[in-house]
Amino acid sequence: MTASSRTLQHVGEWKVELRAGTLEELFAELARVVADAAGPRGSPPAPGDWEHVELAARDCTTLLVDWANELIGRSEIEQRAYGSVRNLIIESAPGGPARLSADVRGEPVVEWVSPVKAATYHGAALERQGDWRAIVLLDV
Amino acid sequence: MQRDQLLAVGDLAFELPPSARPGMRVPARVYADETLLAAILEGEAMTQLANVATLPGVVECVYGMPDMHEGYGFPVGGVAATLLPDGVVSPGGVGFDINCGVRLLALPLTRADLGSKLESFVHELSRSIPSGTGHGGQWRLTDAELDGVLAGGSDHLVKAHGFGIEADIAHTESRGCITGADPRKVSQRAKDRGRSQLGSIGAGNHFVEVQVVEHVGDASTASVFGLAANQVTVLIHTGSRGLGHQVCTDYVKLMDGRLGAYGIQLPDRQLSCAPASSPEGRDYLAAMACAANFAWANRQRIAHTVRQTAVRVLGVAGEQVSVVYDVAHNIAKIERHGDRLLCVHRKGATRAFGPGHEDLPDRYRAVGQPVFIPGSMGTASWVLVGDAMSETRSWGSACHGAGRSMSRHAAKAQVTGGALRRELEAQGIVVRCPTSAGLAEEAPFAYKDVERVAEVVEGAKLARRVARLRPIGVIKG
């Protein structure tokens, strides 16, 4: 399936539902959502170098939130939107520890739009019912 | 949560007893009238306040302010105190924007004095104060400069760099510096996120607003605050920017991983916490103090720019631009209440100490602490004064704003930024905003009625209304 996302109702913050056929596609979709929220990039694109990311967490849901926070923090420091992901590998045992390895690439943002501060553990969910589905609440 | 689960406990107070659900250690009380209560019960805010009542070491009661709405972990507008030394501290109980807060400046001008210079004043402020996501300050701090700010707050900024005057410090909560700040407890990523952001507003609901004192209800107290009818004021709303966001991210994750070690079970992982006396608790408090100090320095730097701009554009003397007060509304403070030493979490809630409190500046000790309730861009903001009863009603706290009633997504669906700009300008409000979408997210209709909120705050004996401020210029983050 094509990875997708939609906004769910939340008065104060930004609640996002993600769907994808594989876990890797789901994580890549979250990267795209966070990057698109940052604002439009230049045309033609001016991507930077690929940067390597490695993360470990106590479970895959935690890893998903930590992944968003990694990209949000990196984005603010480098002033780039990290929507491009390659070589994404996720190792996880059901309900157990999870690890991620990936290369990410940022593009300069022409006009910053999003005030995304962080991803939260509040109501974070990740499940597989055929396809993968996740919910992440972002502080904006 | 349903209305019939709450008990009325006096005027404008409703309580969920600890027997209402497993794990609650104390009651959860919200201050509201029936209209505000109905809005509060529409979301998850009351459930979240009940979750807060499960925190280890929580004492007496957790409180919801009249502007409470759902957040994550703590509700926005939630207040909880834990008994030290072993009660917990929760980074989620402070929030990502550590020491988000407001500072009110009084200018030596009336609206008539300002006259046609309003547009150029707002324009010059917008040119001088960076706003919006991705727009940092004009100063990239070295490691040594940043550590100085983290340890010393706005006090350091005035004394070491000359960005302000001693009176600014005297009229800032905690004199703009929490002791115990340790820059070594702040991650390199957090420092790098904030390094170039000092003196900037940021985005979201942050703003700098030029206002006029539209109504004075308590002339005596207003006079002590240095406010009079028709006077021009400037309200600054911002916090610790990316530095504070990363401190919260770092310590939520750290404590989330240590819950088992302390035998703590929580209904919401975003409430992750550790005993304040534990290594994790002590480290967080030291890092949070750094972020809080950075936020006070940020508002101090912006206030200095406002002062310089007022001198340049309006021809006033710099020392005549005075800080009325600066107060935090996302913070955990170590406070003595009666004979107990407590860690008081205020998440989207402001301190509101009454007359006589030793922590108040000399000028305000006889009347109480200035409390600010900003409305929205198109409505009023209120200046109140802390009520003596707030100590026993809410750990000396009041609400921090009108409170959102509509999501940003829904607000953008109802109005465009351009249309809202025209509407505000038709009301005589000069608007500067980096993005139209950002403007629409903060549309006045997305917030509760600030008049009702302020009235309930007074009726609940948290703070008394002093003066109402009407916006005439908005620089939106």
- Test A11 with B96 for CB contact under 8 angstroms: no
| Eight-class DSSP state of B58 | B
pLDDT band at A13 (very low <50, low <70, confident <90, very high): confident
- Test B407 with A39 for CB contact under 8 angstroms: no
Higher pLDDT pick, A95 / B104: B104
- Test B97 with A111 for CB contact under 8 angstroms: no
For residue range A38-86, list pLDDT tens digits in order. Answer: 888 888 888 889 999 999 999 999 999 999 999 999 999 999 999 999 9
Cα–Cα distance between B320 and B311 in angstroms, integer? 10
Cβ within 8 Å of A, B 389-408 = 404-408
Whole-prediction pTM: 0.96
- Test B435 with A109 for CB contact under 8 angstroms: no
Residue of A nearest to B51 (CA): A122
pLDDT at B426 over 70: yes
Which percentage of chain B shows pLDDT scores above 70?
99
Phi and psi at B467, nearest 5°, equal: -155, 150
Residues whose CB is less than 8 angstroms from the CB of residue A98 and which lie 6 or more positions away in sequence, other chains included:
A56, A57, A58, A59, A60, A62, A63, A90, A91, A92
How does the average pLDDT of chain B come out, rounded? 95
Tell me how far CA of residue B186 lies from CA of B99, B189, B194, B399, in angstroms. Answer: 15, 8, 11, 29
Contact residues, chain B, for A7 at CB < 8 Å: 409
pLDDT of residue B135: 59
Taking the Cβ of residue A51 and every Cβ of chain B, the question of whether any pair is shorter than 8 Å is answered with: no
Annotated active-site residue B69? The verdict is no
Higher pLDDT pick, B60 / A129: B60
Tell me how far CA of residue B28 lies from CA of B13, B24, B33, B343, B391, in angstroms. Answer: 10, 9, 16, 17, 17
Taking the Cβ of residue B477 and every Cβ of chain A, the question of whether any pair is shorter than 8 Å is answered with: yes
Contact B122, B432 (CB under 8 A): yes
Nearest CA to B108 out of B301, B297, B307, B355 is that of B307
Contact residues, chain B, for A13 at CB < 8 Å: 71-72
* Average pLDDT of the segment spanning B84-99: 97
Q: How many residues does chain B have?
A: 477
Contact A75, A37 (CB under 8 A): no
pLDDT of residue B441: 85
pLDDT of residue A11: 83
pLDDT band at B412 (very low <50, low <70, confident <90, very high): confident
Contact residues, chain B, for A112 at CB < 8 Å: 132-135, 203, 434-435
pLDDT at B360 over 90: yes
ipTM of this model?
A: 0.94
Burial of B366 (0-12, 13-18, 19+ CB in 10 A): exposed
Please pick, among B69, B237, B345, B400, the residue that the annotation labels catalytic. B400
pLDDT band at B440 (very low <50, low <70, confident <90, very high): confident
Provide the 10 A C-beta neighbour count for residue B107. 23
Of B270, B438, B477, the CB nearest to A122: B270
Cα–Cα distance between A13 and A20 in angstroms, integer? 23
pLDDT of residue A137: 96
- Test A122 with B256 for CB contact under 8 angstroms: no
| Chain B interface test: which of A8, A9, A55, A117 (most B C-beta within 10 Å) | A117
Contact residues, chain B, for A10 at CB < 8 Å: 70, 407
pLDDT of residue B203: 84
Provide the 10 A C-beta neighbour count for residue B8. 11
Higher pLDDT pick, B333 / A110: B333
Query: Mind telling me how many Å the CA of A121 is from chain B's nearest CA?
Result: 5
